[in-house]
Amino acid sequence: MPSFSYRIKSKDDKQVSIYISFRPQNSKSVFSRTGFTIHPSQWSSAKKRAKPISPETKNLNYKLNELEIFLADRLNEDFNLGVDITNKWLKKQIDRFNNKVPTTDLSYLLNLMDDQIDNLHLKKAKDGSMGLKKNTVKGYKDFRGVLVKYEVHADSKIKINEFGKEEFDGFVKWLSDDQKYAKGEIGRKVKRLKGLLKYGAGKGLKLGMSLEAIDKEYSYKTKKFINVISEDEFFKIQNLKDLPPYLENVRRWLLIGLNIGQRISDLRKIRKQDIRYDSDGIALIDVVQVKGEEPVTVPITLKPVIDILKYRFPYPISDQKFNDYMKEVCKRAGIDQIVKGYKMNPTTMRKELIEAPKYELLASHDMRRSFATYHFDKGVSVNLIMKITGHKRESTFYEYIGRNPNKDHDAYNFLNAIK
């Protein structure tokens, strides 16, 4: 807990304000009035508390202790979300503690957000189960952090019936100019906000802007640059030799991943006991996907990959190290064609569109995308590919591989199936 300090600034013969101050981690001190007052004669500067000489001053000390605990909780939560801890932030938290804005008043944006989060356990997941998955809930909580930061920036508690076009423009401008979000991410934040307002409308709350107007005015779609590992590049990786042990380990994971089309979280879970072999020597890998908990069995026929599964199974590695070392493996394999794509800027911590050698822009999710693209181009039925990759909607699948639905593709697949 940070070291909070109380003090009074005046010794006049009257009720004076009590102030609180503290120094957040890696920042300058912040301070604000607490909303409580006391006569200087009843204040102990040494103990930084009211003198316990009456029921009133004892109760005041109790309130000051409560305020410390409340602020410590809010500080821990908001600091982890990247919220700037300033005098404005402190004043807003004290107002909240003193119930100047009742937390039950859902016409306020943050109160509505808290209510929505509290009721996520009643929402149906895509698989039909009640309650959303952990990562989905985290997305809601992260967006709450964005709203907290924006309220601090705007220096006001936002009411949804006052959040009209001018306010929407201000929010979008803040996301772009202050927070340096790319258009696609701004679009996702606006979609989150629209979802929150729709939730409020469902509770009978009046909106400052219609949901239809939001869709019309604030549509952000960025051009996608999808980079996948081609068949030729796969064989370059397969034939790569004389790597240091840590890169050889990643090369093996990479070859398996490109053959099974799973997320990195599912790939890393595979153990030798999850692999079966039929009478023809084909490997059958049983996976229960983390997202959606769907059981999937993926066949592998390529002998070099089957040899890895049988005799040279790779050892575990973290996602971060896999992504870093994957780039090095692809670089050594000569996957260096200059392409366009988005890369994280370490200074702004935002993705930026650049031109670079392909290996720089590849990451673990591109294994699954490469698998889906390769088999789609080979004429495999979209539904069959989706059963392996775990996609639930065709529209999502086509967007994932950067292609448009092809009815001729489906028609010929049908003919091949009935031959």
257 and 365 in a single domain? The answer is yes
Residue 103 falls inside a structural domain: no
What domain range includes position 24? Answer: 5-97
Q: Are residues 268 and 206 located together in one domain of the fold?
A: no
Alpha helices in 81-164 (DSSP H): 87-97, 109-118, 134-154
Please name the residue that has the structure tokens 């698998």: 371
Percentages helix, strand, coil for the chain (3-state, rounded to 5) are 50, 15, 35
Has residue 138 been placed in a domain?
Answer: yes
Number of structural domains in the chain: 3
In a domain, 306, yes or no: yes
Has residue 225 been placed in a domain? no
Q: Residue 379 carries which DSSP code?
A: T
pLDDT confidence of residue 284 = 95
- Asked if the structure places residue 222 within a domain, the reply is no
Widest CA span in the chain = 99
Examine the fold and report which residue of 191, 217, 243 is the final residue of a domain before the chain moves on: 217
Do residues 209 and 287 both lie within one domain?
no
Rounded CA separation 329/251 (Å): 7
On whether residue 224 sits in a domain, the answer given is no
- CATH of residue 136's domain is 1.10.150
User: And the tokens for 293?
Assistant: 């908990």
- Give me 99's structure tokens: 């119930």
* pLDDT at res. 417: 66
- How many other CB atoms are found less than 10 A from the CB of residue 257? 27
pLDDT at 210: 87
Tokens describing residue 55: 């029921």
Do 311 and 282 lie in a common domain? yes
Q: What is the CATH number of the domain that holds 399?
A: 1.10.443.10
Mind giving me the DSSP string for 213-238?
Answer: HHHHH----PPP------HHHHHHHH
Residues 144 and 39 in one domain: no
Say yes or no: 272 and 366 in one domain.
yes
For the chain, the distance separating the N- and C-terminal CA atoms, rounded to the nearest angstrom, is: 71
Q: How far is CA 21 from CA 28, 44, 133, 318, in A?
A: 11, 16, 39, 41
Q: Are residues 131 and 89 in the same domain?
A: no
Alpha helices in 218-312 (DSSP H): 231-238, 245-260, 264-267, 303-311
- Rounded to whole angstroms, the Cα distance separating 110 from 112 reads 5
Please tell me the distance from the alpha carbon of residue 252 to that of residue 241, in angstroms, as a whole number: 12
CB 146 within 8 Å of CB 181: no
Same domain, 125 and 73: no
Task: Report the b/e string of 314-336 with b at 16+ CB within 10 A.
Answer: beebeeeebbebbbbbbebbebe
Q: How many other CB atoms sit within 10 Å of the CB of residue 172?
A: 19
The count of residues in the chain is: 419
Residue 102 within a domain: no
Q: Yes or no: say if 176 and 190 are a contact pair by the CB < 8 Å rule.
A: no
Looking at the domain assignment, is residue 308 inside a domain? yes
Structure tokens at 288: 């229960």
The answer on 134 and 84 residing in a single domain is no
Of 32, 67, 97, which closes a domain? 97
| Residue 289 and residue 364 in one domain | yes
pLDDT at residue 216, as a whole number: 80
Final residue belonging to a domain, choices 76, 97, 118: 97
Domain co-membership, 142 together with 287 = no
> Are 235 and 383 in the same domain?
yes
Ordered mean pLDDT values, 10 residues apiece, the chain (419 residues): 86 92 85 92 93 89 88 84 84 82 78 88 62 80 89 84 90 89 85 91 90 79 84 96 96 96 92 92 92 88 95 94 96 96 78 90 95 92 92 89 76 70
